[in-house]
Structure 1
Amino acid sequence: MIAVSAPLTAAPRIALAGVLLESNAFAPPAREGDFRDRYYFQGSALLAEARAETSIIPREMSAFVQAMDATGPWVPLPSLLTGCQPSGPVEQGFLERCIRQIEADLQAAGPLDGVYLALHGAMVATEDLDPDGALLARVRALVGPQAIIVATLDLHSNLSERMVASADLLIGYLTNPHLDMVPRGQEAAFTLRRLLASGRKPAKAFVRLPLTPPSVTLLTAEGPYAELIATGQRRQNEFGGAILNVTVLGGFAFSDSSKTGLSVLVTAQEDPVAAETLALELASQAWRNRGRFRRRLTSVAQAVDLAREATAQPAEQPAVLFSDAGDNPGGGGGGNTLWLLQALVEAGVERVLYGSVFDPELAEEARRQGFGARFQAVFNRHGESEFAKTLTFPAEVVALREGAVVGRLGLFAGRRLELGKCALLRIAGVEVVVISDRQQTADPVFFEMFGRDPGQARVVAVKSRGHFRAGFAPWFSPAQVYEVDTPGLTAPVLERFSWRHLPRPSYPLDRDTIWTPQVRRL
């Protein structure tokens, strides 16, 4: 166990680390190469990346470091920060090597006042269903009970008792689409300084409900989840400083974890009763509104009809935006299903922008063919799964590019995106973006990098579940957005999946689920 700096110095010694992954249990495992291809920083390289003007790492880590820099002297002790695109369970051996590296770095750092961890919270491993909890618990065992451990979480985190017990403060995002990573990283820094100055440990109250909402119901602009978060923030203010943080996590069903379920975590300055009271109040509100955590989707056939109608309307009439919801790379989808694309092409719909199909081999073939070439574009040429079926279209190469771009709006704003070789193919009336690094199309830069203006298209279709709403808000109001019920690893119809570990009964999978109010004090 590491000794804590005592008494607290003017420059607190704070370790930095994180392993981030949103795991879809139905997707292929995430291996070491997937993480290293995305981002993998150690020691001084981590700190330099966090202080860079644009970065590929989670913005909350950068915000934490920069907020600590701005609020006084401190001694940053960077360990390891790595993450990859949402994928399947992380390979256990790689995860163990990461945790051991973090343990070794913290041990070598000497006395610590605190630790900040950037986490997602919905990771599962090939052998461990709660690796986020394992990481937090092992850090706690190393630094001892007095050091302050603070972590930030995605609001799709699946919260476990071990996670809550091991950390002093867990801070979840408040927005979906995720637009508040910077404020949450800043909050982590500010609150860490307050806790260190007070010398007190906060009180935590935790409730997890037998409620597993589909991700499409977890928007925060409107709806039951938005109301729940708004109530939590209002009530936190009404407690007059007694409450440090209110986190309401919608969970991520596709992790198929025993800790899955909408959860409420309230952290109070020191009053456990205040924390428990508010946690139960919010959980009860969620349960009363459970019937609203269901959403009707648009079928592929209906989407085609809407596209035809939009194409037939004058240019000044509203266009439509489709979410290819069953194949969201941001939730572990392969980014290569073709049902919606095929339907739009076969229907002869014109002025369509479709983004983005993950197919490195096709992008490379387009590059070899060259600008202006006409060829038979073979998508998913190896047909590796039931969703990645091979399909061939006559296509024209209308644009090529390679390398990184910087996001402009929403989730990716100001963040570097490595997309590899990319091509824009024209297939009948549809222009299709093909990329070599699996990403959800949540930013207009995916089209703008080819000189295409989403506002000039009559139909825009994106492989993204919800983050596209912020990226494409300048052109598409909520009334113009349709979530299309396409097959894939992120299909919002949860009844289609064979669950192994998700707690049952759970609403809405089990309509007669009963909840007895109870709260855990941890």
Structure 2
Amino acid sequence: MTAAPEAAPPPQAATPSGGPRIALLGFSIECNRFAPAATAEDFRVRLEGEAILADARSRAPRALAEMPGFVQAMDKAGPWQPRPILLAMAEPNGPVEHAAFAAMMATWRAGLEALRGQVDGAYCVLHGAGLTTELDDPEGALQTLVREVLGPHVPLVCSYDLHANVSDVMVRDCDAFVGYRTNPHLDMRERGMESAALLRRLLAGERFHRAFRRLPIVAPSVSLLTSEGPYAEIINLGQARANVLGAPKVANVSVMAGFAYGDTPFNGFAIIVTGPDQAACEALADELARASWERRARFVAKLTSLREAVERAVTSEVPLCFADVADNPGGGGRGNTMYILEAFHKAGVQDALFGIIHDPELAAEAHALGQGASFTARFNRGGAQGFSKPFSAPATVRALSGGKVAGRRGIFANTAIELGPTAALTLGGITVVVVSRRTQCADPVFLEHLGIDIASARALVVKSRGHFRGGFDEFFSAPRIIEVDVPGLTSPVLDRFEWKKLPRPVLPLDPETRWGG
């Protein structure tokens, strides 16, 4: 992969007396091509103008932590003049309806054009695995818009989720590329703060080169944890090398795992090294690409069958956590498949918790009946839709809430979350938490705010791929986590999908894949 071209040095200009003027904008959604399309209403965090700053500076922001981290760091570093435009964020979903994205683009364009010639830099919060019903690379389109309107000399720093599918345009049309380093994502605030520091360096006159390598590896999601394993080793190697080389040579190392279900022409494990020293950046990108390829055989899914999961739930002498990785709302899953719940219920599993199932109709019925009511809980009552099939069982309403919570741990820590009308239902020996707004079960508070004692459960089932590990680690260590193999829109078994745009050959789908790096 060739290196990204660098913009010509900007004309020298004095910093405004009130500090640098910085445009703020963002578009963050992870899109699963196999999931239903997302609408404008799915962007539940849509902040415009001064609302971006008010949210970022609040005690419990609605936005995820990159923008709050950036604003905090800029505030602390000295005077600056924020110029906020639009920050749009949504839960992972299907491709965004293009008309909805076009309307956002119109807002960004109008805001940028109003700032033309009046800003010194720009910061953009992105995910990197977005799609629209017409575009494979909406993030690249937004970055190109920033360049088009503000020009090539205004420094642009972009931060991305480590699940970004990195296009050439994304690397080309920024001055510093900043990716998460942790999965579960526990460093979003830090990456926002790092973005502010890099932008300050660019404003002081430094120029950064971006070295970019993409490999034919589309790793199963469950093989991409950063506490241990091949992905962790590559990230740690990159940080160790960057520390030795130092800031005068390398400013940032981002190892991007990608998001398989985006199914884009540029899916693939990606290395981006940003820094002042072109030779050092290129050499380090080459080293990390080779190290990634050497570990290619270890990027595989290792799952437990449903039959074995049921047996362990019944017989285990220690509490266990079962992850429904195939129905992860954090990857576009609908959060309402019944495979594990039905099997556990049929087997008579006792002292079990299920969190969380997205079923607004069932939650509304429980609220209408009231706490203590007994009834037949009918999940997915609208009939089978893909992997989401109906299931019914006698139930009692154990607890009810409006679903407004403040995140306690992990990816949602200190973030204001709205689950909508929420109910805890007892189905025999199982308590199921039903929510009205789809999200993954990544924070214990989603259960605890209903009076549920997680520590007393013998089994916990979470609809989440990996972020639950950052929230529930105080209850379940890694050896007590079981990743269950059931059908779903986010199954880590990649040969179950009909890929349309994924570059082939690619590992692990095509064993004959070669790479010439």
Q: Same fold (TM over 0.5)?
A: yes
Distance in 2 of aligned mates of 1:240 and 1:444? 39
Measured against aligned partners, the alpha-carbon deviations of 1:276-329 in whole angstroms (never above 9, x if no partner) come to 10001001100010000013101111100110112xx3xxxx310000111000
For residue 55 of structure 2, the aligned residue among 44, 49, 52 is 49
Quote how far apart the aligned CAs of 1:5 are: 8.4
Does residue 306 in structure 1 map to residue 312 in structure 2? yes
Runs of 4+ displaced beyond 6 Å = none
Write the mapping of 1:109-148 to structure 2, written as runs, cut at 5 A. Answer: 109-110=115-116, 111-148=118-155
Does residue 17 in structure 1 map to residue 25 in structure 2? yes
Write the mapping of 1:360-399 to structure 2, written as runs, cut at 5 A. Answer: 360-399=360-399
Could you tell me whether the CA contact under 8 Å between 1:5 and 1:113 is conserved in 2?
Answer: no
Does residue 87 in structure 1 map to residue 93 in structure 2? yes
Quote how far apart the aligned CAs of 1:387 are: 1.1
Superposition TM-score, scaled by structure 2 size: 0.96
Quote how far apart the aligned CAs of 1:116 are: 0.3
For residue 233 of structure 1, the aligned residue among 212, 223, 239 is 239
Residue 277 of structure 1 is matched in structure 2 by 283
Quote how far apart the aligned CAs of 1:461 are: 0.5
Write the mapping of 1:98-497 to structure 2, written as runs, cut at 5 A. Answer: 98-110=104-116, 111-197=118-204, 199-241=205-247, 242-269=249-276, 271-310=277-316, 313=317, 318-497=318-497
Measured against aligned partners, the alpha-carbon deviations of 1:223-277 in whole angstroms (never above 9, x if no partner) come to 00000000000000111221000000000000011111110000111x2111110
Could you tell me whether the CA contact under 8 Å between 1:410 and 1:442 is conserved in 2?
Answer: yes
For residue 68 of structure 1, the aligned residue among 74, 77, 88 is 74
Distance in 1 of aligned mates of 2:240 and 2:433? 43
Q: CA RMSD in A?
A: 1.1
**Counterpart residue type for residue 375 of structure 1:** F
Distance in 2 of aligned mates of 1:200 and 1:352? 56
**Counterpart residue type for residue 247 of structure 1:** S
Could you tell me whether the CA contact under 8 Å between 1:355 and 1:461 is conserved in 2?
Answer: yes
**Counterpart residue type for residue 365 of structure 1:** E
Could you tell me whether the CA contact under 8 Å between 2:64 and 2:412 is conserved in 1?
Answer: no
Quote how far apart the aligned CAs of 1:4 are: 7.9
Query: Residues 236, 400 of structure 1: CA spacing in aligned structure 2 closer, same or farther, 3 A cutoff?
Result: same
Distance in 2 of aligned mates of 1:210 and 1:447? 40
Residue 520 of structure 1 is matched in structure 2 by none
Residue 4 of structure 2 is matched in structure 1 by none
Listed as ranges, the gaps of 5+ residues in structure 1 are 518-522
Could you tell me whether the CA contact under 8 Å between 1:376 and 1:394 is conserved in 2?
Answer: yes
Distance in 2 of aligned mates of 1:69 and 1:501? 43
Distance in 1 of aligned mates of 2:179 and 2:424? 37
- Count matched residues: 505
Quote how far apart the aligned CAs of 1:143 are: 0.9
Could you tell me whether the CA contact under 8 Å between 2:301 and 2:493 is conserved in 1?
Answer: no
Could you tell me whether the CA contact under 8 Å between 1:4 and 1:143 is conserved in 2?
Answer: no
Measured against aligned partners, the alpha-carbon deviations of 1:66-125 in whole angstroms (never above 9, x if no partner) come to 110111001100000011110001111111111121121111124211110001000011
Could you tell me whether the CA contact under 8 Å between 2:223 and 2:300 is conserved in 1?
Answer: yes
SS at match of 1:326: helix
Could you tell me whether the CA contact under 8 Å between 2:23 and 2:121 is conserved in 1?
Answer: yes
Distance in 2 of aligned mates of 1:396 and 1:200? 63
Query: Residues 48, 4 of structure 1: CA spacing in aligned structure 2 closer, same or farther, 3 A cutoff?
Result: farther
SS at match of 1:258: coil
SS at match of 2:482: strand
Could you tell me whether the CA contact under 8 Å between 1:4 and 1:147 is conserved in 2?
Answer: no
**Counterpart residue type for residue 158 of structure 2:** A
Measured against aligned partners, the alpha-carbon deviations of 1:203-230 in whole angstroms (never above 9, x if no partner) come to 1100010000011110000000000000
**Counterpart residue type for residue 465 of structure 2:** R
Distance in 1 of aligned mates of 2:264 and 2:228? 27
Distance in 2 of aligned mates of 1:131 and 1:445? 33
Distance in 2 of aligned mates of 1:200 and 1:371? 62
SS at match of 2:271: strand
Quote how far apart the aligned CAs of 1:403 are: 3.4
Distance in 1 of aligned mates of 2:465 and 2:196? 30
Distance in 1 of aligned mates of 2:357 and 2:398? 16
Does residue 34 in structure 1 map to residue 48 in structure 2? no
Query: Residues 66, 4 of structure 1: CA spacing in aligned structure 2 closer, same or farther, 3 A cutoff?
Result: farther
Quote how far apart the aligned CAs of 1:200 are: 3.0
Does residue 8 in structure 1 map to residue 9 in structure 2? no
**Counterpart residue type for residue 21 of structure 1:** I
Identity fraction in percent: 49
Measured against aligned partners, the alpha-carbon deviations of 1:386-408 in whole angstroms (never above 9, x if no partner) come to 21111111111111111310111
Quote how far apart the aligned CAs of 1:384 are: 4.7
Distance in 1 of aligned mates of 2:418 and 2:73? 26
Quote how far apart the aligned CAs of 1:450 are: 1.2
Distance in 2 of aligned mates of 1:100 and 1:149? 19
Distance in 2 of aligned mates of 1:469 and 1:433? 19
Distance in 1 of aligned mates of 2:14 and 2:106? 29
**Counterpart residue type for residue 229 of structure 1:** I
Listed as ranges, the gaps of 5+ residues in structure 2 are 1-9
Residue 7 of structure 2 is matched in structure 1 by none
Could you tell me whether the CA contact under 8 Å between 1:336 and 1:359 is conserved in 2?
Answer: yes
